[in-house]
Amino acid sequence: MRLIVQRVSRSSVKVNGVCIGSIECGIMVLVGIHQEDTDAIAAAMARKLAALRIFEDEQGKMNRSVCEFGGSVLAISNFTLYGDCRKGRRPSFTGAACGDDAKAIYEAFVSALSRLVPTQSGQFGAEMQVEIVNDGPVTLILDSKGN
């Protein structure tokens, strides 16, 4: 599983012009599902994201998690995070999980995350318009295979 984590002052997602999720201060996370991911990996990544200390404390140091900060998370599925651009000019998505398998793991991630922190989500497989106001900017990559 690969997560692109962005600390935001606000973020929202629309499908067909209709807002289906929005948050104020918190984290907008793009979620890529690998073909080898499991519910256990999804739960572990949700715990890691909820505990990630990227919000400032009283001394101005990134020392508080979204839970401690009192923020929310907006989780957006994004299979293109597994786009492989090493050959040619067109990405290959062979590492990304497909269809129902990817949807089940994404839903497991959102469910695990929502037990830890207030969570909104996009619509799996839909064309979405995501709006963010990146705070900092703070952008991190979490990968279940690497960190």
At 100-144, the pLDDT tens digits run 999 999 999 999 999 999 999 999 999 999 999 999 999 999 999
* Number of Cβ within a 10 Å radius of residue 40: 11
Residues with Cβ < 8 Å from 69, sequence gap 6 or more? Answer: 25, 26, 55
CA distances from residue 71 to 18, 24, 119 in whole angstroms, order as listed? 23, 7, 9
78-87 pLDDT, tens digit per residue, is: 999 999 999 9
How many distinct structural domains can be found in the chain?
A: 1
> Which residue range forms the structural domain that includes residue 7?
2-143
Q: Are the C-beta atoms of 9 and 137 separated by less than 8 Å?
A: no
Q: What is the CATH number for 35?
A: 3.50.80.10
Q: Are the C-beta atoms of 75 and 122 separated by less than 8 Å?
A: yes
